[in-house]
Amino acid sequence: MYYIISSLITIRFRKHISRNDKTASALVVLLFLAVALICYSKFNEIGLYFYLLFLDPILYQQKRNDLELLKIRKNYKWILFVEYIIYTFPYLIVLIIKQKYYGLILVLMVNFIVIHIPKLQMKNIKYPFDLFNPHWHITFRNYKIILWFPLLLVLSFMGIKHQNPNIQNFVLLIIAIIICIPSFERERIEEIKYHSNNSKNYLKSQFINSLINTSFIIVPIAVFILFNTFNLLISSLILVVYVLPLVNIISKYAFFHHPIKQQLFLVFMIVSLGIPILSLPFLLNKALKNLNEIKNVENRN
């Protein structure tokens, strides 16, 4: 079982985890277990939002490129089904412990249906994003992120209709996480090394790029939410949507050679309600130091 789980993690996160990196694989497993444990302890407060965790296999199915290779095997659909069960196993255990058997059956049925339907074929959409960081375009196309927004608008409308501000808060949190996705992608070292900007200006340009592109996404949704329901907490969360990607950019360059640490930092910050933000001055200094090392520059700034 250990070999199977380790192999699946290595294959899925091959861009971030080197082969036979047992420490990184263990961290990923611990992350899944930690999320499941938190959801178990806060199950009543989370409610139906818990089932959003089961969207992971669906999104992974849409963006994976090895399906044609798997189709060589006659039982490839069952292989996919078991693989997705393993990915969501900690969350399935939570449903079993909480005796949510109907939810468990529904999740299994959805997974079974997903592997039997063809991948969505979407034409390239022209996004209005600033091109300083091309990963905005790349990630939105590769992960088909645009498909999330109709669902988020429906959730937002439900929150307004039922006068439930928690739904609006949840929608804004999901948008903040979505906007962080481009900053998980890394440039090639050569792109940073030979860029005309020094480290400080390069990081500043990344911040400006994030603010501009974030505005394209959040402003229409924020106007819709605030026009229908206004309170101070929602207004504060809109600011969080802008701040969280900036923090993720800092952690990206602070942990440039360790993507898993960057991901764990973001998860820890969200779960702990932003406590790690106190370490930002240290991370900012480390980010600039790493950029300087990549550029082979000392004391240039």
56-100 pLDDT, tens digit per residue, is: 888 778 777 777 788 888 888 898 898 889 889 999 999 999 999
Q: How confident is the model at residue 148 (pLDDT cuts 50, 70, 90)?
A: confident
| Nearest alpha-carbon partner for 104 in 126, 89, 119, 82 | 89
| Nearest alpha-carbon partner for 155 in 168, 143, 138, 142 | 168
**CA distance linking residue 300 with residue 292, whole number of Å:** 8
**What's the mean pLDDT in 118-128?**
70
Helices (H), the chain: 2-12, 22-41, 43-46, 55-63, 67-70, 76-87, 89-97, 101-114, 135-142, 148-161, 165-180, 189-193, 199-228, 232-254, 259-271, 280-295
**pTM for the full predicted model:** 0.67
Q: How confident is the model at residue 15 (pLDDT cuts 50, 70, 90)?
A: low
- % of the chain residues with pLDDT over 90: 28
**CA distance linking residue 155 with residue 168, whole number of Å:** 8
Mean pLDDT of the residues in the chain: 84
**CA distance linking residue 78 with residue 71, whole number of Å:** 11
**CA distance linking residue 152 with residue 168, whole number of Å:** 9
pLDDT of residue 18: 66
pLDDT of residue 120: 63
pLDDT of residue 297: 55
The answer on pLDDT for 248 being more than 90 is: yes
The answer on pLDDT for 24 being more than 90 is: no
Residue pair 33/90 in contact (Cβ under 8 Å)? The answer is: yes
